[in-house]
Each structure stands twice: as structure tokens, then as C-alpha cells.
Amino acid sequence: MNNLEELLKKAEVQPHLFESPVPLYNQLSRVLQKLIQDEALQPGDRFPTEEAIAECFKVSRPTANKAVQFLIDEGYLSRDKGVGTYVKEKPLVEFTFFLDSLSFAEQFPPDVPIRTEIIWTKTVPATRKVAKALDLEPGAPTVLMRRLRFVHDRPLMVCDSQLSAERFPDITKRKFIRDSLYATLEETYNCPILYSERYALAYEVTEQEVAELLQIQPFSPVLMITGVSFTHNNRPVDYLRTFLREGSVLKTTVPRRGGKDKPSKTNPYK
């Protein structure tokens, strides 16, 4: 048994690819990525050679090369010319699942570098789905803004937020307080966000701009989080759609409560 076979066994990975529309190199890169994610290989460890990968998985050398290059581009590996390919230190991003805090900026410890770029804002009529979520008339003017969130200077998520243009006039002209939409809504428009409902869905990126912003290939898997935030009297404030790329750990704590719980609201945007 060679070294790669031992690693695969350690990570409980079978050296088999599938007949699938997904290209072989993409399948192979995801299998090899599991060796890193499951810590069969540690940062600084030498990565198996392309020859060993090709032989073990019974694929061509160019396919093995493309799979390894994909992991290099994704930040999992680094290649030193004439020396070899090594596992790169690649910190996973961990944040709470919008329960302990509703603000993106407050999800992370103070020593984690984060930043936000506003990609664009525009006024669009509310679709039937968004109108239902925000308790508006279909076609009512809304502000749609797209933001790109970075953690460790790496694009992590694309966030689309949609709000009533009449209720929040000139919001696109305002500089966000503490780089936070919710802080701006509370301090400028006297509209605190009291709670939010979030729904997570395994998804594949079909929008070219989203893929480019996240620096991933179209149809790559992401986690899509949708939801509505509410203020006093259960009044909806914004409709959110977020595309979260791999490399993140969503963490939440679910308390066990006694007595009657607050009745859950039905999903208003199904």
C-alpha cells in the first residue's frame, strides 16, 4: 500500500470516481480536498505527486494535474518549483448562524480581518415573491443592493438585500454606520432589527457575476441563505439572499426551552 492509499484509507475515502456530467478533474479535486479537510494531511505536509494520484485513481496525468491546480487556485495547496506541492495553512471561517447577533460584523472575533464592498445598488420593482415577504404591493419600488464580504481578505459571501424604497429614502446615498446596514437602519431610520428568519439551501451558482465575485467556477456548490428580518410588531424590513462559498463553518447553539415557545412564523416567501 503506497502513501496515497494510506491517506485515503485514513480519511475513509474510496479511490473511485463516478460517471457523471461533473468533469473528472472536478470530482478528483473534491476527493483530494477531503484529505485536507479531514486532516489526513496537515498544513506543511507534502501533497501526493500527480503521478501517484493518476495511478491511484486510474486517470490521466493531465486530469491529475488539473485537479491539483484547482486546489492550488482554491488556496488549499502551494507549489514550490523544483521542491514540491504542500498543504497550505488555510483558516476556516467560523461564525454563528445569525442567532447570537444579526450583524455580519459582530459574527467574528475582533482579531479576524473583515471588510465589505458595495458592488452596486439599484431601484427595482418588487416581484410578487419579494412583495409578499416585505408586505408590499407587487411592483412597489424597492432598493436592491449587492455587497461582497471578505474575511482574511478572501471573498466569503455575496449578500443581496432588498428594502422598501419609500420606507427608507436615500439609503443608497448614506455611508453605513460601522459598516453595517442594520446599524444604519436602527440609528438613522429608527428601525431596529429585532429578529430574523433564515433558510439555508444547498445550491449551485448559476449567476456569472456571483461566481466571479466569489472567485469560483459557475455551477460550483454554495450555501444559499435566504430570509426576512423584522422590527417591532413583526413588521418585515429586508429580504436577504446570501451566497456563501466553501471554507466556512456555520455554528449555532440551540437551547432547550421549557414552557411555551414563541409561535414560529410561516415562511413568507415560499
Q: Give the pLDDT confidence of 171-220 residue by residue, as tens digits.
A: 988 888 888 899 999 999 999 999 888 888 888 887 889 999 999 888 78
Q: Which backbone phi and psi does 158 adopt, to 5 degrees? A: -105, 125
pLDDT value of residue 266? 47
Q: If 0-12 CB within 10 Å is exposed, 13-18 middle and 19+ buried, where does residue 200 land?
A: middle
195 vs 95, higher pLDDT: 195
Note every long-range contact of 222-228, with CB atoms under 8 Å and residues 24 or more positions apart, other chains counting: 222/246, 223/248, 223/250, 224/200, 225/98, 225/198, 225/199, 225/200, 225/201, 226/198, 226/199, 226/201, 226/269, 227/98, 227/196, 227/197, 227/198, 227/199, 228/133, 228/134, 228/196, 228/197, 228/268, 228/269
Q: What is the β-pairing status of strands 141-151 and 114-125?
A: antiparallel
Q: What is the pLDDT of residue 230?
A: 94
Residue 269 has pLDDT above 50, yes or no: no
What are 31-51's pLDDT values in tens digits?
Answer: 898 888 777 888 999 999 999
Residue 63 has pLDDT above 80, yes or no: yes
Looking at every residue in the chain, the average pLDDT score rounds to 83
Q: Give CATH for domain 93-251.
A: 3.40.1410.10
What is the pLDDT, as a whole number, of residue 262?
47
Percent of the chain with pLDDT over 90: 45
pLDDT of residue 256: 54
Q: What is the pLDDT of residue 40?
A: 83
Asked whether residue 8 carries a pLDDT value surpassing 60, the answer given is yes
- pLDDT exceeds cutoff 70 at 134: yes
Q: pLDDT band for 87, please (50, 70, 90 cuts).
A: very high
- Write the secondary structure of 92-116 as one string of H (helix), E (strand) and C (coil): CEEEECCCCCCCHHHHCCCCCCEEE
Q: Among 105, 106, 111, which residue's Cα sits nearest to residue 91?
A: 111
More confident residue, 259 or 211: 211
Domain 3-87, CATH number (from 1.20.1420.20, 3.40.190.10, 1.10.260.40, 1.10.10.10): 1.10.10.10
Q: Is 233 a residue whose pLDDT tops 90?
A: yes
pLDDT higher than threshold 90 for residue 66? yes
Domain ranges (residues) in the chain: 3-87, 93-251
Determine the pLDDT at residue 118. Answer: 94
**127-144: burial string, b at 16+ Cβ within 10 Å, e else:** eeebbbbbebeeebebbb
Asked whether 53 and 4 are in contact (CB, 8 A), the reply is yes
